[in-house]
Amino acid sequence: MYVVKSSLADADLKVVSEALQGALMDLVDLALTGKQIHWNIVGPRFRSIHLQLDEVVASARTHSDTVAERASALGVPPDGRAATVASGSGIKTAPAGWIKDTDAVSAMVDALGSVITRMRERVTATETPDPVSQDLLIAITADLEKHHWMFQAENA
């Protein structure tokens, strides 16, 4: 069927599209995880973390849109469906049920930490094949590392 003519050579495109699809699954799952904890958190820091989580969700949603549309722009259809995300995300599944605020913060430190590790690998992988995609991934990494710091500082 339809093919967007890509700016990249095939080998480059393969590397870049894997990076983008991986980022997409991580970021959609980060948004779902953030909302899950936003709804289930309890404890004396409820309101503060509840609000902080919505800022992560907003970031993750914006970033997932960026990487998905970047894939489309390179001629590769992105996949952000629930089952794809459930199986392909690198984030550990959040626990079911109420979650204490301290545990909520730890869960976010872990989730962000694991996404960041993979994001940095994607930054390295895309440098040569597509500096344009790399630039988007760098900006997303910077933002995630800022969120990561804030949750670490919160649990210090």
Asked whether 126 and 52 are in contact (CB, 8 A), the reply is no
Q: For residue 10, what are its two tokens? A: 């095939």
Give 22 or 80: the residue with its C-beta nearer to a copy of itself: 80
Residues paired with residue 99 on neighbouring β-strands, in sequence order: 41
Among 78, 104, 115, 125, binds a copy of itself (CB under 8 A): 78
The minimum distance between CB 81 and a copy of itself, in angstroms, equals: 5
100 phi and psi angles, rounded to 5 deg: -65, 150
Is residue 81 close enough to count as binding a copy of itself by CB under 8 A? Answer: yes
CA dihedral 147, 152, 155, 156 (to 10 degrees): -140
Q: How far apart are CA 43 and CA 30, in angstroms?
A: 22
The H or E element that residue 41 is part of is: strand 41-42
Is residue 80 close enough to count as binding a copy of itself by CB under 8 A? Answer: yes
Is residue 63 close enough to count as binding a copy of itself by CB under 8 A? Answer: no
Is residue 103 close enough to count as binding a copy of itself by CB under 8 A? Answer: no
> Which 120-149 residues touch a copy of itself, going by CB under 8 A?
120, 123, 127, 131-132, 135-136, 138-139, 141-142, 145-146, 148-149
Q: For residue 143, what are its two tokens? A: 């933002």
Among 16, 20, 27, 49, binds a copy of itself (CB under 8 A): 49
> Which 13-32 residues touch a copy of itself, going by CB under 8 A?
28-29, 32
